[in-house]
Amino acid sequence: MKQISRRTVLKGTAAAMAISAFAGPSFAQGIDELVIAYNVNLPSWDPTVGPSAVNPTIQGIYQSVFDQFILQKPDLSPAPGLLTEWGWNDDKTKVMMTVREGVTWHDGSPFTAEDVAWSLTRAADEKTGNPIQFIWSTLANIKAEGNVVTADVARFEPTIFKWMYFLTGYVLPKAYYEKVGAEGFEAAPIGTGPYMVDKFERNAFVRLKANPNYWGGKPDFETVTIKFVTDAASRVAEIESGNAHVTLEMPYEEYDRLKGGNGISGTAAPISDIGMIFLNDIDVMLDPNVRMAAAMSIDKQLIIDRLLSGYGVAIDTLQTPEYEAYDASIKVPYDPEKAKELLAASGYSPENPVKFKIQTTRGFKPKDYEMIQAIVGLWRKIGIEAEIEVYEIAKHYELRAADQLAPAAFYNWGNSVGDPTTSTGFAMFGPSPHSVWDGQDLIDMIGPLWGEADEEKRIAGWKAVDKYIAENALVIPLLQYVQPILHADGVAVTPHASGALLPHLMKRAS
């Protein structure tokens, strides 16, 4: 038997000491500080101005620090938040909002109705650069009296209260903001939310401390560090190595590989984002047979099963089951034979295919390019020859705003308030810069719904619009996305249907 020399033992000891000195943070014991590997950077702390204000992915961080006017529950429904009651008067010429009492800002100063009135007034002021100013400006003469805020309705907007838990619908501290200014607020932001900003390193991390006075109850985790890890492979490595307790948005294959083993659990729930194909009313898309054949020849479930490992929900309208105007009776069947017949009626066949271009991003959403490749393959079988053009998402926005998209263009649409105006409405109403379908018939159907005061009538109207769109294949809805979240076994994560990953909804697992 080989003798172990003293030198060998010393070498081994030194090596062990060196490795232990390098060892990363240990998370084997109880979790004192929750670490989240987040998929985007936080560019700015003001949630009401600039590009980050309309970036849905960042809203989870904003909602950790700031409260929205109205709380949104994980199932997308509204609940009392800083506003405990809200509504219009009978003739819908005024709005009234009751403000929660006993709330304090992170600096200890009292939150008042003045803060709500100021936040609404500021949002409506076009000089501040709020991208949703066109909605907030529908309220005028905003006043605070006691714990009640009132405003005149300058233009009736049926979704105004929904915007109060949507993009830029945040309450900011009037006195503090006026004292420190925009730059001071950026450097040291305060809100009324469940967490307070402790330390922020741009592009690196934000460290949050629990707000002991949070009106909704102190969060379970005293300290939360959100690391900005924009690369999906690095996020997977973070959770796999134990350097992070929670992460999101990784390839579904990685999600399946890691969940349920090695101390890691997984949560995958549908969110409000959908994948769709815009159809532009140009060239061959003016032929209804071509549009309907294109829509009917896509086996959505097959694509979800094969490409997204089953993580997705096939949809036939721009509404998901969580949306208010969702109508399960509206169906676009998968029927390739019928699609062939439709194309034949227009003189097309696999031998003489109809040709058009389809644009898509590559890597912007999970398997976006691969999905379009699969769809093009399905189309080829029935007599559609589509040429794929890959573009950046920035180019998509620019082309869409200029109504210059190709006849078909893949895109994903987010609508975390679930109102039909912010899905079908903006995506399909011709005059909207987000729509490329300009048909007058649809404009005439949608037009009266913008200001419809009768809620039942409004929702019924949108359902009729969706039915018309499906019957005429004016757009091709594909699927509702499922958000994969991986987390340490010691953390219980509550997914939010908006896609926002909210630390205050995370608890210690029992």
Partner 1 sequence: MKLLRAILLRLATMSVTLIGAAVVVFFVIRVVPGNPIAMMLPPGASEEDIARLTAHYGLDKTIFEQFWIWLTGVFHGDFGTSISLRQPVMPLVLSRLPATLELAIFALVIAVMIGGAMALTGVRHRETRTETAIDVANGVGLSIPDFLWALILIVLFGVLMPVFHISGRISPSLDLPFVTQFYVFESIARLRFDLWWDLLKHMFMPALALAIPLAAIISQLLKQSLKETMHLDYVTLSRTKGYSENHVILSEALPNAVLPTLTLIGVQFTFLIGGTVIIERLFSYEGLGNMAIDAVINRDLPLIQGIVIVFALLFTIINLVVDMTYALLNPRLRHA
Q: List residues binding partner 1 (CB under 8 A).
A: 19, 21-25, 33, 37, 41, 43-44, 46, 49-54, 126, 129, 131-135, 167, 182-183, 186, 199, 201-205, 207, 225, 227-231, 233-234, 237-238, 240-243, 391-392, 394-395, 397-401, 415, 421-422, 425-427, 431-434
Report the residue number, 85 or 186, with the smaller CB distance to partner 1: 186
CB of 366 to partner 1, least distance (A): 18
| Dihedral of alpha carbons 277, 281, 282, 288, sign | positive
Residue 354 makes CB contacts below 8 A (sequence gap 6+) with 284, 287, 290, 343, 346, 348, 383, 384, 385
Which one, 167 or 296, has the nearer CB to partner 1?
A: 167
User: In whole angstroms, what is the distance from residue 473 CA to residue 468 CA?
Assistant: 8
Q: Are 413 and 274 in contact (CB under 8 A)?
A: yes
Contact (CB, 8 A) for 466 and 424? yes
Closest approach of partner 1 to the CB of residue 43, in Å: 4
Q: In angstroms, what is the minimal distance from the CB of 342 to partner 1?
A: 32
Closer to partner 1 at the Cβ: 227 or 367? Answer: 227
Distance in angstroms (rounded) separating the CA atoms of residues 421 and 459? 10
Distance CA 299, CA 373 (A): 13
Cβ closer to partner 1: 60 or 495? 60
**Residue 364 or 369 with smaller CB distance to partner 1:** 364
Cα torsion 206, 209, 210, 214 to 10°: value is -80
The DSSP secondary-structure symbol of 100 reads P
Q: Report, in Å, the least distance between residue 424 CB and partner 1.
A: 11
Taking the complex as a whole, the smallest distance from the CB of residue 217 to partner 1 amounts, in Å, to 25
State the nearest-atom distance from the C-beta of 148 to partner 1, in Å. Answer: 28
Nearer to partner 1, 48 or 297 (CB): 48
Q: Shortest Cβ distance from residue 470 to partner 1 (Å)?
A: 20
The backbone torsions φ and ψ at residue 349, rounded to the nearest 5 degrees and listed phi first, read -155, 175
Q: Kindly tell me which of 65 and 339 has the beta carbon lying closer to partner 1.
A: 65
Judged by beta carbon, residue 50 or residue 288, the one nearer partner 1 is 50
Rounded Cα distance, 36 and 14, in Å: 34
Helices (H), 221-307: 232-241, 252-258, 288-296, 300-307
Phi-psi domain of 374 (left: phi exceeds 0; alpha: psi -120 through 50; beta: other): alpha
Buried b (16+ CB within 10 A) or exposed e, 59-94: bbbbbbbbbbbbbbeeebebeebbbeebebeeeeee
Residue 29: how many CB atoms within 10 A of its CB?
Answer: 7
Q: How far is the CB of 202 from partner 1 (least distance, A)?
A: 7
Nearer to partner 1, 144 or 236 (CB): 236
Helix/strand/coil for 338: helix
CA distance 303 to 367: 10
CB of 357 to partner 1, least distance (A): 15
Cβ at position 333, least distance to partner 1 in Å: 29
Nearer to partner 1, 92 or 395 (CB): 395
